[in-house]
Chain A
Amino acid sequence: MLNTPDSVPAAQITARPAAFRARPAARPALVALAALALLTGCSGGIAQSVSTAVKDSSSAVATARIALRQDMDGKLTKAATDTSLEDGLKEVEAGRSSVLKLSPATQEERVAQKQALDVLDQCAAGFATARAALAANDGGSPSLPDGDKALADAQDALKQLEGAVGSR
């Protein structure tokens, strides 16, 4: 079950296309690269995939927080902020999709996958709140600080997950 706010149905998030990192149409390139990586013995495994997804999502959330802050400070236009949030959400969804496709072989890997999916869902929900706040823009709820708070919480969760993945 996705951890999404009421204003954004879960289906709206899950319906987005699966992708390699932030680039949905790059799947053939990914397949080719993955095949080559396997051939050259460079295949990583679950920990590496989770780590990559977490790093990419951390970068996306950090970007969104800067964009939101600049918007609140009157430094960024609504169009640019909206585009930043959209790009960030794509990045998180791509990470989530790559983790979802993993086939864990051990109990430890299953736990790692579940934890990663929970945190990435929280990130997607944070983005949804931020986008809803930007779209509302009438002083109602959620406000831009609410959006920033949701992203800050997601960022904390990502940091914890990063630490947990790193210690494995």
Chain B
Amino acid sequence: MKRLLGVALGVLTAIGGFVDIGDLVTNAVVGSRFGLSMVWVVAVGVVGICLFANMSGRVAAASGRATFEVIRERLGARAGLANLSASFLINLMTVTAEIGGVALALQLASSVYYLLWIPVAALAVWLVIWRVRFTIMENVAGLLGLTLIVFAVALFLLKPDWGALAGQLAPSVPEQETVWTYSYYAIALFGAAMTPYEVFFFSSGAVEEGWTVKDLLQERINVLVGFPLGGLLSVAIAACAAVVLLPAGISVTSLSQVILPVAEGAGKLGLAFVLVGIVAATFGAALETTLSSGYTLAQFFGWSWGKFRRPAEAARFHVAMIVCLLIGMAVLATGVDPVQVTEYSVVFSAIALPLTYLPVLIVANDPQYMHEHVNGRVVNVLGMVYLVIILVASLAAIPLMIVTGAGS
């Protein structure tokens, strides 16, 4: 019974923790401009993140060490540094975007200008990382993030023409858009689903929670059930935008537009749920990305790391996270729009994907670390297919960004 509860909790937190500011903004933008014609991209992204998160969780459980630590040892300092540079910079952008997302959501709830909320949000992130136990932190943020299910509820309450909505599912470029903007946002959506920090956080979290090979089944269920259900939540966000915003000619450029379909369908109660959900999702992701920054740096340089250690025993790990939070705050203090930081962060995530995921695939095939838990043939074939997709997305991202004026 206890094990069953553990599995249920793991799945629920995986659903609630799946959506972050990148998913919220990108799905709403795509829904408002392209309808549901990019649901296939979400599906491709979800399969990809399941594949690689499962792989890195298995690396952690089988070797007892975090994926990044093993990559550094297995591939050497140079390859590790390439991986670190790409992952860390994207991570830093994502930390910035998530803290900005918390502040924007709090502005929607209070009408106090978001810049005033930024130090509060960053301080709260630091306090939670400093004081709260890993499991509690992960479960509370994940469970509160579940309130984003209100997007799916609102979709039903909006009583859309389901036939017309289903008709949008076929991949097609709307008349007012070009094939270039369609491709650009497809890559952004793919990058949002496969954000590198999720993999590093997942494997480091496995070490924090002391997973062993006995926990592999639960890890697999968490990933294979929780992430696809989280993906459905992403589709609900896009569908809400497609039903309310697209017909009104609204292109999403701010978080205040993302919540309007929920208020339309579910009124003030729905609004309360969605605001709690957005704060929880962005705050939870801010915790994860800040921790991921500390994890990757500490694991590369061989510092003592982990929340399972007292802060004094992992001082450099904690200082690194504080510095990341300060950098994120400084960037936001310039007045840069957090939504725009988010849009760029998901595209740059896509650019950095090969550097993140190729090493994971290599390590997951090394019997020295994995013993009998190395990748099977099917997983390797899928992994290779995804490496090709990732490479194409990575190479096409910058030219498309230039040609489309960043999707404008």
A76 at the A/B interface (Cβ < 8 Å)? Answer: yes
Residue of B nearest to A22 (CB): B253
**What number of B residues sit within 8 Å (CB to CB) of A?**
35
Given A63-B257, A75-B267, A87-B257 in contact, is the A40-B337 Cβ separation under 8 Å?
Answer: no
A70 to chain B: which residues have CB within 8 Å?
Answer: 260, 263-264
Residue of B nearest to A17 (CB): B335
B273 to chain A, nearest CB (A): 13
Q: Are B249 and A75 in contact (CB under 8 A)?
A: no
Given A26-B340, A40-B403, A74-B268 in contact, is the A83-B107 Cβ separation under 8 Å?
Answer: yes
Q: Are A66 and B256 in contact (CB under 8 A)?
A: no
Q: Are B402 and A37 in contact (CB under 8 A)?
A: yes
Q: Are A21 and B111 in contact (CB under 8 A)?
A: no
Q: Which residue of A40, A62, A80 is within 8 Å of B250 (Cβ)?
A: A62
Number of A-B contacts (CB under 8 A): 103
B387 at the A/B interface (Cβ < 8 Å)? Answer: no
Q: Are B256 and A83 in contact (CB under 8 A)?
A: yes
A110 at the A/B interface (Cβ < 8 Å)? Answer: no
Interface of B is mostly: helix
B207 at the A/B interface (Cβ < 8 Å)? Answer: no
Given A23-B336, A23-B337, A63-B250 in contact, is the A80-B256 Cβ separation under 8 Å?
Answer: yes
B108 to chain A, nearest CB (A): 5
A56 to chain B: which residues have CB within 8 Å?
Answer: 251, 253
A76 to chain B: which residues have CB within 8 Å?
Answer: 260, 263, 268, 271
B98 to chain A, nearest CB (A): 18
Given A63-B260, A67-B260 in contact, is the A80-B271 Cβ separation under 8 Å?
Answer: yes
A149 at the A/B interface (Cβ < 8 Å)? Answer: no
Interchain CA distance A81-B242 in the complex, whole Å: 21
B254 at the A/B interface (Cβ < 8 Å)? Answer: yes
Given A22-B254, A23-B340, A77-B271 in contact, is the A42-B259 Cβ separation under 8 Å?
Answer: no
A20 to chain B, nearest CB (A): 9
A121 at the A/B interface (Cβ < 8 Å)? Answer: no
Given A37-B405, A66-B244 in contact, is the A75-B263 Cβ separation under 8 Å?
Answer: yes
Q: Are B335 and A84 in contact (CB under 8 A)?
A: no
Interchain CA distance A21-B337 in the complex, whole Å: 11
A87 to chain B: which residues have CB within 8 Å?
Answer: 253-254, 256-257
A24 at the A/B interface (Cβ < 8 Å)? Answer: yes
Encode contact with A along B372-406: 1 for CB under 8 Å, 0 otherwise: 00000000000000000000000000000111011
Within 8 A of B (CB), among A108-143: none
Interchain CA distance A75-B334 in the complex, whole Å: 34
B254 to chain A, nearest CB (A): 4
Q: Are B256 and A25 in contact (CB under 8 A)?
A: no
Q: Are A66 and B260 in contact (CB under 8 A)?
A: yes
Interchain CA distance A75-B244 in the complex, whole Å: 14
Q: Which residue of A21, A55, A74, A79 is within 8 Å of B108 (Cβ)?
A: A79
Residue of B nearest to A33 (CB): B405
A148 at the A/B interface (Cβ < 8 Å)? Answer: no
Given A66-B244, A75-B264 in contact, is the A25-B254 Cβ separation under 8 Å?
Answer: no
Q: Are A25 and B260 in contact (CB under 8 A)?
A: no
Interchain CA distance A37-B402 in the complex, whole Å: 6
Given A33-B406, A59-B250, A59-B251 in contact, is the A25-B271 Cβ separation under 8 Å?
Answer: no
B136 at the A/B interface (Cβ < 8 Å)? Answer: no
B109 at the A/B interface (Cβ < 8 Å)? Answer: yes
Within 8 A of B (CB), among A18-52: 21-26, 29, 33, 36-37, 40, 42, 52
Return 10 A-B CB contacts under 8 Å, by A number: A21-B408, A22-B337, A33-B401, A33-B405, A37-B405, A55-B251, A56-B253, A59-B253, A66-B260, A91-B253
Interface residues of A (CB under 8 A from B): 21-26, 29, 33, 36-37, 40, 42, 52, 55-56, 58-59, 62-63, 66-67, 70, 74-80, 82-84, 87, 91
Interface residues of B (CB under 8 A from A): 107-111, 244-245, 248-251, 253-254, 256-257, 259-260, 263-264, 267-268, 271, 334-337, 339-340, 344, 401-403, 405-406, 408
13 new A-B contacts, CB < 8 A, other than A66-B250, A75-B268, are: A22-B337, A23-B336, A23-B337, A26-B336, A42-B402, A42-B403, A56-B253, A62-B249, A63-B250, A63-B260, A76-B260, A77-B271, A79-B108
